[in-house]
Structure 1
Amino acid sequence: MSQPDSPARQGATSTSVSPFQSERNSRDEAPQYVLPLVVHIEKTDPPARTDALRTAARAVLVMLSDERSVGEGEWAQAIHDWQDARIRKVVRRARGAEWRKASALPGITVTGESAEVRVFPPVPLDGWPKELAKLQVSGTDLDDPEPPAAPDPSGPVLWLNPEVGMSAGKEMAQAGHGAQLAWWELSETERKAWREAGFPLSVATPDAARWAELTVSGLPVVRDAGFTEIAPGSCTVVADHPSLRR
């Protein structure tokens, strides 16, 4: 089984047929899958919000590029089926024994400065492993104890909509969407370079004027399907990768 072409490389653009938009299309006819992400949140030592967002985005990229997710890899069919449908991601939280049980399941743990996020191969929308199904979606409200550093303008930046409020868990999923859209639009050479560098990226919130510029810049834009928290069609993230800048 060969690696499937991404929707972006099949002719879709980031501003037209997006797998995140609310309008019903052919993607809704396929069996629906979800990419589970679990963030490690201990009561006494929660991760910083911005680092959790960066780490979630990197976790998605690590999963997409892992050798088990492509070609004849053991996760390749699940990745293929997931990308044929809506590109859903759900972030849940775990601590203590819950985190240890989740870590025992097949997946990949990605570590940031203070955050740990484990990403798992896609599962059917109604077929979560019991160890993950019982984890809570709520309770992922995180803060930055100190103002985050300014984004590195020479590297990839995931820009968040300054006018849409979301929980940290929702924002982690949206950051993952943005990273995935950027990944789809890169060439194989560009993907390899990003992966070998360890998927460096920044997450930042611009002012309203800058956000308006970004949304019409030609960069990939996430338009959320509106299943949770925000209105359908809301623009949530602009994926700004140096190789995609016009």
Structure 2
Amino acid sequence: MQLVLLRDRIHPARQVDACEAAARAVVFLLDDPRTQPGGPWHDAVQQWSDKRIRKIVRRASGKRWDDVQALDGVTVSQDPPADAAPRTGPAMVRAFVPAPVRPQPKPIDKLQVSGTNLPTDGLSATSDAVVTIEVNPRIEMTTGKACAQCGHAAQLAHEAMTTGNDDDRRALEEWRRDGFRVRVVTPTLEHWDADGARVRVIDAGFTEFDGPTATTRAQW
């Protein structure tokens, strides 16, 4: 699954807002009617979900951002909090229907993958979210990597709720009504080590990490 993050050099978004927008975009795509059985996206999403749920985050600005909106996918925009630093802009992420890594449509293929970083100042402004995503406090990630890992956690939460018990399914309905908002936090070491999450993401270590690494987890 390709994710494209809007990069505005004049009004950059905060990293935490981008991570939350990425998580929401992934779940919106998975929950979309076009992804359900009989829908035009179903087979592509199903084939991808049955294998390794790889996500690649790219960045775009200006016309290149406008160009990718024509490709099949879902865009989520998340405004910064009122007390954000001056000139902080909204976070915008588009998730695309999964496809082989090569070839990619030209509007996506020309976009930069590595080295995407946004300002890390400020905590999540989201409150009362159904799902909380926790980021491993012992590691560092680029914004692009963090967005992908938060997307993984949100996807696993959605899958667990879909196939879970009655309480899980009720939580999914509440999450859906709430626009799939998530709260992304970096917990204390003590909280992380207590490990009370419902789903966990272990990155394979192909990029940024030397081997399998626990990156994010989700609870609801």
| Shared fold (TM-score, shorter chain, > 0.5) | yes
- Mean CA deviation greater in 62-71 or 230-239: 230-239
State the partner residue of 1:130: 106
Q: Which amino acid aligns with 2:96?
A: F
> Residue 144 of structure 1 aligns with which residue?
120
Per the alignment, residue 214 of structure 2 pairs with: 235
Among 170, 174, 178, the alignment partner of 1:197 is 178
- Pairwise CA distance, 1:192: 2.5
1:185 pairs with 2:160: yes
C-alpha deviation, 1:204, in angstroms: 0.6
The list of structure 1 runs, each at least 4 consecutive aligned residues, that deviate by more than 6 angstroms after superposition, is none
Distance 1:86 1:130 in 2: 24
Name the SS for the 1:179 alignment partner: helix
**AA of the residue aligned to 1:195:** R
Aligned counterparts, 1:85-104, within 5 A: 85-104=51-70
Q: Number of residues paired by the alignment? A: 204
Q: Is the counterpart of residue 111 in structure 1 residue 86 in structure 2?
A: no
The Cα of 1:200 is off from its aligned counterpart by: 1.8
- Residue 103 of structure 1: how far off its partner (Å): 1.1
Kindly state the Cα deviation for residue 174 of structure 1 after the two structures are TM-superposed.
0.1
1:240 Cα deviation (Å)? 1.3
The alpha-carbon distance between structure 1 residues 73 and 188, as it changes in their structure 2 partners (threshold 3 A), is: farther
Where structure 2 has 5 or more consecutive residues not aligned to the other structure, the ranges are 80-89, 162-167
Counterparts of 1:230 and 1:159, CA distance in 2: 18
Q: Which of residues 190, 195, 204 in structure 2 aligns to 1:225?
A: 204
- After superposition, the Cα gap between the structure-2 partners of 1:154 and 1:59, relative to the gap in structure 1 and judged at 3 Å, is closer
Tell me which of 168, 172, 190 is aligned to 2:147.
Answer: 172
Aligned equivalent of 2:135 = 160
- Determine whether 1:41 maps to 2:20: no
Identity of aligned residues (%): 39
For 2:197 and 2:177, how far apart are their aligned partners in 1? Answer: 26
Kept in 2: contact 1:151–1:157 (CA 8 A): no
Partner of 1:140, secondary structure, is coil
Tell me the TM-score normalised to structure 2 length: 0.87
Cα deviation 1:64-121 (Å, max 9, x = unaligned): 0000011111000000110111100011000011111111212111111111111110
Equivalent residues of 2:132, 2:218 under 8 A apart:
yes
Query: How far has the Cα of 1:193 moved from its partner?
Result: 2.3
1:162 is displaced (CA, Å) by: 0.6
- CA distance in 1 between partners of 2:35 and 2:173 (Å): 15
1:9 matched residue in structure 2? none
Using structure 1 for the length normalisation, give the TM-score.
Answer: 0.79
